[in-house]
Amino acid sequence: MSSLQSELSRLQPELIRISTETSMLMSKIEQETIEVENAREVVASDENRANAAATEAQTLKSESEQELADAIPALESAVDALQTMNQRDISTLKTMRFPPQGVRLCMEAVCILLGEAPARITDPLGGARVDYWVTGQKVLSDIHFLNRIRNFDKDNVSKETIAVIKK
């Protein structure tokens, strides 16, 4: 028994050292576990934001594709109508003093696309107002008008111009 006690006394310092090292190692593992868990939370948060952004981008893409699909038939119809338009049609438009609202709206869009500024006219009710029909008549008087709109670069219209037309 005394030999066991002496052996135990001899091993006591090493046991204390190993116990201390084990405690330090456990503490380090605990700290690293906390850091890993924090990093995991950050990654999960980033992943959630990325997934939300991807979902939003997919929604925008789908909406844009649908808008494009809806607009293509109207564009093709307008291009076909433009190809049938002749100088006599232009002359008829120019002579209209009070054109239908659809004609006014169309000429306003044409003027905006061509970068033509609207005329400011005096309103009989007071003040001044913007009128694209006066400008539109001048644009229609250009002998190159048909060529100008037939050769218009419709694929490179700025977003700002589109926004102005949509108003």
Are the C-beta atoms of 128 and 120 separated by less than 8 Å? yes
Q: End-to-end alpha-carbon separation of the chain, Å?
A: 101
Rounded mean pLDDT of 11-40? 91
Retrieve residue 151's tokens: 């050769």
> Which domain-ending residue is among 61, 84, 107?
84
- 110 with 77, same domain: the answer is no
CB atoms within 10 A of CB 14: 9
Rounded mean pLDDT of 81-103? 88
**Which of 24, 39, 142 minimizes the C-alpha distance to 87?**
142
- 115 with 149, same domain: the answer is yes
**Residue in the structure block whose two tokens are 């644009």:** 139
Range of the domain at 96: 87-166
pLDDT in tens, 47-62: 999 999 999 999 999 9
> Which domain-ending residue is among 84, 110, 139?
84
C-alpha 68/C-alpha 155 separation (Å) is 12
Predicted pLDDT of residue 97: 86
C-alpha 152/C-alpha 161 separation (Å) is 14
Q: How confident is the model at residue 67 (pLDDT cuts 50, 70, 90)?
A: confident
- 72 with 91, same domain: the answer is no
pLDDT in tens, 98-156: 899 998 999 999 999 999 988 888 877 777 888 889 899 999 999 998 889 888 888 88
Per the structure, the count of domains in the chain is 2
Q: How confident is the model at residue 29 (pLDDT cuts 50, 70, 90)?
A: very high
pTM assigned to the model: 0.59
Task: State CA 11 to chain mean position distance.
Answer: 73
Crossing angle between the packed helical segments 87-95 and 132-141, to the nearest 10 degrees: 150
- 43 with 93, same domain: the answer is no
